[in-house]
Amino acid sequence: MNQIGFVLLSVLAVGSALSVILQRNPVMSALSLVVTIFSLALAFLSLGSSFVAVVQVIVYAGAVMVLFVFVIMLLDLGRREPFKLTGVGRKILGIAAVAAFLFQISASLSAVGVMGARPPEPLPPGYGTALAIGRSVFTDYVYPFEAASVLLLAAMVGALILAKRRI
Amino acid sequence: MQYDLVAVLVFMVVGVALLAFILALSRLLQPRDPNPAKLTTYECGEQPVGPAWIQFNIRFYVMALVFVIFDVEVVFLFPWAVVFQKLGLFAFVEMMVFLGILLVGLAYVWRNGDIEWVKPLPGPAALEDEKGAR
């Protein structure tokens, strides 16, 4: 049953991701992206990572989507003519990008050995909960955690400086 | 921990089915008699003024940027709160260092006047330079 759910979620995720790039209206693209993010969150949940699922919704569906919608409204994209992606150069670029992407995916899959792989070991109890993540972050990964705060600080200051150059 | 998605699926299916049923029912029952006044956008009873597509103030963007960073910070508070009683003082000090480093960011934003809604055009540092020059 969980496998059926996973397949349904994957279809939903891929379908809404297609909708993101096929919609002409940028706000509709943003809404489709919210659907993609939610279906990915549910997929994480079905894989046993409840904390990652919730973070996916809080950070991506919450904060990042707010940023995207603000950028769309800020650039006033709604009234613009849709971009025309034609021309030989762009087609070649697109084909090259798709080829690189497919190569990357097939390389990763063959490295893991998905075909005929042994079934995964059962997860330890409590895997993926906020408790398990908190325990490992605040004991084994103390320095990476503190380094993450410096990274966030640098990201914030850098983004503001880049943004204010245009204001 | 593995979660069963059956309940989620049932919720999704029932939600979509209920919505489709209600929309179909209202389509069957509604009289259709549109006129221009009915088709205007509802703006709390006022006459609609201008399109909804307006250019937002750029300060929304800066706010959203800062919000993303502090949202990520808050995400780390959840596992911290769960393990806090087990790890005690060590986890407390750790989190205070984390919050302290990010508070520098808040101080930076505040000092630059990015979270002031009505801000003077030159930054506060430039204003002070001006004062010093006089």
Q: What is the mean pLDDT of residues B82-108?
A: 88
Instruction: Name chain B contacts of A127, Cβ cutoff 8 Å.
Output: 1
**Residue B103 structural domain:** 52-133
CA distance B48 to chain A (A): 18
For residues A96 and A148, membership in a common domain is answered with no
Select the more confidently predicted residue: A103 or A161. Answer: A103
pTM > 0.80: no
Higher pLDDT, A158 or B127: A158
Residues A61 and A85 grouped into a single domain: yes
Residue A23 and residue A89 in one domain? yes
The pLDDT tens digits for A19-75 are 998 888 888 899 999 999 999 998 888 888 888 998 999 999 988 998 888 888 877
pLDDT at position A104: 93
The domain of A80 spans 3-120
Please state, in angstroms and rounded to a whole number, the distance separating the CA atoms of residues A93 and B56. Answer: 33
Nearest to B83 by CA among A132, A51, A55: A132
Per-residue pLDDT at B130 exceeds 60: no
Are A48 and A116 members of one domain? yes
**Looking at beta carbons, which residues of chain A come within 8 Å of B8?**
5, 42, 45
Amino acid at B28: L
Closest CA to A66 of B63, B77, B55, B105: B63
Assigned token pair, B26: 């209202």
Question: What's B113's domain CATH number?
Answer: 1.20.58.1610
pLDDT of residue A151: 92
Instruction: Report the domain count for chain A.
Output: 2
Residues A29 and A87 in one domain: yes
Residues of B in Cβ contact (< 8 Å) with A129? 1
Question: Is residue B104 situated within a structural domain?
Answer: yes
Closest to B59 in 3D by CA, of A63, A70, A76, A156? A70
A42 shares its domain with A112 = yes
* Mean pLDDT computed over A79-100: 77
CA dist A83 and A79 (Å) reads 12
Judge if ipTM > 0.90: no
Q: Assess whether A96 and A167 both reside in one domain.
A: no
Query: Residue A118 pLDDT > 80, yes or no?
Result: no
- My answer on whether A25 and A77 are in the same domain is yes
The residue with greater pLDDT, A76 or B11, is: B11
- Does B1 have pLDDT greater than 50? no
Give A33→chain B minimum CA distance, Å.
17
